[in-house]
Amino acid sequence: MLEISNIHTFYGGAHILHGVSLRVEAGEVVSLLGRNGAGKTTTIKSAIGLVRPRDGRITFDGTETTSWASHRICHLGLGYVPEERRIFSDLTVMENLEVGRRPARDDIPAWTTDTLFELFPNLAERRYNLGGHLSGGEQQMLTIARTLMGNPKLILLDEPSEGIAPVIIEKMAEVIAEFKAAGLTVLLSEQNLHFAKLVSDKAYIIESGEMRYEGTIAELEANSEVREKYLAV
Amino acid sequence: MAFYFAQLLTGMANASALFLVASGLSIIFGVTRVVNFSHGSLYMLGAYIAYSSMTVLPGIIGFWASILVAGLAVGLIGMIIEVCVLKPIYKAPELFQLVATFGVILVIQDMALLIWGPEDLFGQRAPGFEGVVEIFGERVPSYDLVLIVLAVVVLIGLWYLFTKTRVGILVRAATQDREMVSALGVNQSVLFSGVFFLGAFLAGIGGAAQLPKGSANLLMDFGILAPIFVVVVTGGMGSIWGAFVAAMLISVLQVYGIRFLPNSTLVLMFIVMAVVLVIRPWGLFGKPEAAGDHGSQGPPPKPFRQLDPSGRIIVAVIIAALTLVPLSGVNFLSVLFADIIIFCLFAASLHYILGVGGLVSFGHAAFYGGGAYVAALFVQYAGTPMELALMLAPLGAGFAALIIGWFCVRLTGVYFAMLTLACAQVLWSIVFQWDEVTGGDDGMLSIWPSAWASEPGVYYYLVLVLGVGGVLVLRAMAHTPFGYALRGTRDSALRTEAIGMNVKLIQWMAFVFAGAMAGLAGGLFVFAKGSVFPTEMEIATSFDALIMVFLGGVQSLTGPIAGASVFTLLQDWLSRFEYWRLLLGLLIIFIAILLPGGLAGAVDQVKALLGRAPKDEAAP
């Protein structure tokens, strides 16, 4: 469904991604693992068009999107949940959701504020609060809910477990399992192997802007050498 | 009591146009992060278009329809400006957008002159509101009440738009994080154009609605520019309520001010702003701007290089050639080149604070004109000889920069820019309104050099020595430890502070130094011309300096010299044409879009193409 082939991405003069490739099939949950600064976020930002690869090709759902503006990629059905959450702090929870709202798609069930409040009951209680007044965990829920309002086919989750309490991490794992059950495709970047194991089918490992490993989660679990080399802190 | 209430109503009516225009500017800035300098021009166009429309559509319906027509037409013009001028340079540093919109001002000025001619065009009275109404026994023009109602209606309309409609919510979200809004599927391009339409629409309505109280004229654009900056900055950039409250506050104070301190009305407005900004640097209803919140502003600046041997030879040759100018025996050439050298010094001093220090000052003319006035005042009232006056000019200007800088360096970015502009306007208005001492609009005349330097050729050598000397000192100061520290504050204020340097103190000192050097240029100027007028201090002069620096290229120490030389020659040449502003404006816009490195950058590009790329290493 999402295919990144051999992309090279730069920030100014700095060469960040050196020919990164990955594939996500429909219905899969794929983890992109790697340490801080390995290039996970840049890969995800390249996919949603927030940075433009200088070389290489990105296709989503059979359409090449390499040089597209973010909003067009979003319209195709790619949803982006940023690492820093990027809640609109001056807008209420309801208004935050409104910004993400897009028309329903024929092939997947549409999300509404009601269904999202069922999934994230905490948000329902705080619907008229300003985004800036929510706790870190609530903001994490809100940023995901906001992206779901766009009825994406594939969600890019950038480090969803970063900086939130263990209880919420468990909740995130449940939410991702629900997505999978609902037929959503997910690409998540993670440093936390434990969390990735809970939710994903497949894993990639990136280091210094290059892909170093590709396999199923079960294979990765069996391969302690790779884990030591690329993931141990 | 009744009298004060009537005055209050007058103030509120005056606030109406100010609020409409300022809220438009504020909305545009909030989303696009562009301070649209041409917003005053849009206001002016509103008045002109309404005037023309009222001659075509007469009667009651014609009058009100014309206001709407003017708003829509100006909205469209605003959108055209956004698409043609700003869209290509959103990613460039903010100076580019400012300079480009300044180019738009020039273009609109000449277009208006071309279409409507130089005379003031007096609008018709509003049908049904020609008379006065009595309120508590005081007579108040009934159209004043219409204007107050209009402001309130627009305020409520905007409140509704921004809180109750999807478009408004998107605009507010984009004000905070436009990249995220785009990743959520909103087409930024359309949103930006839409916001420009709305902002320009409000300016157009503002211009059209004040037509019955005055005229459509060519001075409206600069006339309203300073007041709307004051309103927007006092109220807080991006805040509609702030614009409303500040417009009311300032206009009402203005009305009472005329009553009690008739000569200080211009100063009053800026004092209100300065007080607010010192207490709340982000304005009454604004929010502090988080650094780096809105994405990167172009590539990091290239380090300044000291001249290589071949560069030194070129400089020596140029200076040697300059010493030959008076030998031509043509006085006109000596005068022209003296002007160029003076402007080089002026531009180089602005570059020190802007290029080396990274602080965009919009009020640098305060110190240039300030130096000129200090010299002129000493000569006139103390009989000071030229030699001493030329020393006092930089001292006086430096002293002014010491005081103004103390306020200004507390702020950064556009707030810094606007506060410097406002402070410069305070000095300008003092000079302009204090007739008895400064001669006001008539300026100060007969400020001539000492006898030995009275020949243009001899005075030229004096300018050459002091001007070139000043430029070389400014250059050298970029390569001193102080210069390195200043560049550190520009590139990363946080890190500079973290290694134990006092960022604000460094910026303040740089501001004073740059101000003093501008004062020297001003001192040289006054003796070259023999007179000085308030125009040396006005906004347009500050802009001239900005354009010189910009034209030459901010990221080069040679830039301001090249820019000042080219600009002075260009202006000399272009002013032969009737519509020279149009040409200059278009040229500025093209340079902003096509030559992001300025002239010096273009030279580097050509060198790179020829395979002689300059080495990129830092200065030793």
pLDDT per position as a tens digit, B394-429: 999 999 999 999 888 888 777 788 788 878 888 888
SS3 B145: helix
| Cα–Cα distance measured from residue B518 to residue B364, given in angstroms and rounded to the nearest whole number | 8
Query: Do the chains contact at A95 and B166, CB–CB below 8 Å?
Result: no
**HEC string for A28-97:** CEEEEECCCCCCHHHHHHHHHCCCCCCEEEEEECCEECCCCCHHHHHHHCEEEECCCCCCCCCCEHHHHH
| More confident call, A48 vs B3 | A48
Closest-CA residue of chain A to B178: A88
| 8 A C-beta contact, residue B372 and residue B525 | yes
CATH class label, A2-88+153-230: alpha beta
Residues of chain B above pLDDT 70, percent: 95
Query: Do the chains contact at A82 and B185, CB–CB below 8 Å?
Result: no
User: For the segment A118-163, what is each residue's pLDDT rounded down to a tens digit?
Assistant: 989 989 999 999 999 998 889 999 999 999 999 999 999 998 888 7
User: For the segment B231-268, what is each residue's pLDDT rounded down to a tens digit?
Assistant: 988 898 888 999 999 999 999 988 888 777 766 666 78
In this prediction, does ipTM exceed 0.90?
yes
Residues in chain A: 233
| Cα–Cα distance measured from residue B46 to residue B210, given in angstroms and rounded to the nearest whole number | 10
| Cα–Cα distance measured from residue A32 to residue A44, given in angstroms and rounded to the nearest whole number | 9
Q: Strands, E, within B180-233: which ranges? A: 215-216
**HEC string for B444-472:** ECCCCCCHHHCCHHHHHHHHHHHHHHHHH
Q: Strands, E, within B375-534: which ranges? A: none
Q: Looking at the predicted structure, is the pLDDT value of residue A167 above 60? A: yes
User: For the segment B339-382, what is each residue's pLDDT rounded down to a tens digit?
Assistant: 999 999 999 999 999 989 989 898 999 999 999 999 999 999 99
Q: Which domains does chain B have, with CATH numbers?
A: 20-218 (no CATH), 309-609 (1.10.3470)
pLDDT of residue B131: 83
Q: What distance in Å separates residue B561's CA from the closest CA in chain A?
A: 29
A2-11: strand order across its sheet: A14-24, A2-11, A55-60, A63-64
Lowest mean pLDDT among A109-113, A160-164, B562-566: A160-164
Joined tokens for residue B615: 């080495």
Q: Looking at the predicted structure, is the pLDDT value of residue B508 above 90? A: yes
Closest-CA residue of chain A to B190: A71
How much of chain A is helix, strand and coil, in % rounded to 5?
40, 25, 35
| Cα–Cα distance measured from residue B89 to residue B594, given in angstroms and rounded to the nearest whole number | 9
Cα dist from B593 to A213, B86, B420, whole Å: 45, 9, 26
DSSP classification of residue B502:
-
| Cα–Cα distance measured from residue A134 to residue B159, given in angstroms and rounded to the nearest whole number | 25
Domain ranges of chain A: 2-88+153-230
Residue in B170, B172, B296 closest to A90 by CB: B172
Residues of B whose CB is below 8 A from A75 = 185
Query: Do the chains contact at B173 and A70, CB–CB below 8 Å?
Result: no
Residue in A74, A86, A91 closest to B169 by CB: A91
* Helices and strands counted in chain B (H then E): 24, 4
Average predicted confidence (pLDDT) for chain B: 87
Q: Looking at the predicted structure, is the pLDDT value of residue B229 above 90? A: no
User: For the segment B423-482, what is each residue's pLDDT rounded down to a tens digit?
Assistant: 888 888 889 888 888 988 888 998 888 888 888 888 999 999 999 999 999 999 999 999
Residues of chain B above pLDDT 90, percent: 45
Closest CA to B237 of B285, B296, B170, B270: B285
| Cα–Cα distance measured from residue A177 to residue A174, given in angstroms and rounded to the nearest whole number | 5
Q: Mean pLDDT throughout A214-220?
A: 86
Residue in A13, A82, A150 closest to B185 by CB: A150
Joined tokens for residue A36: 């801080």
Closest CA to A159 of A174, A144, A147: A144
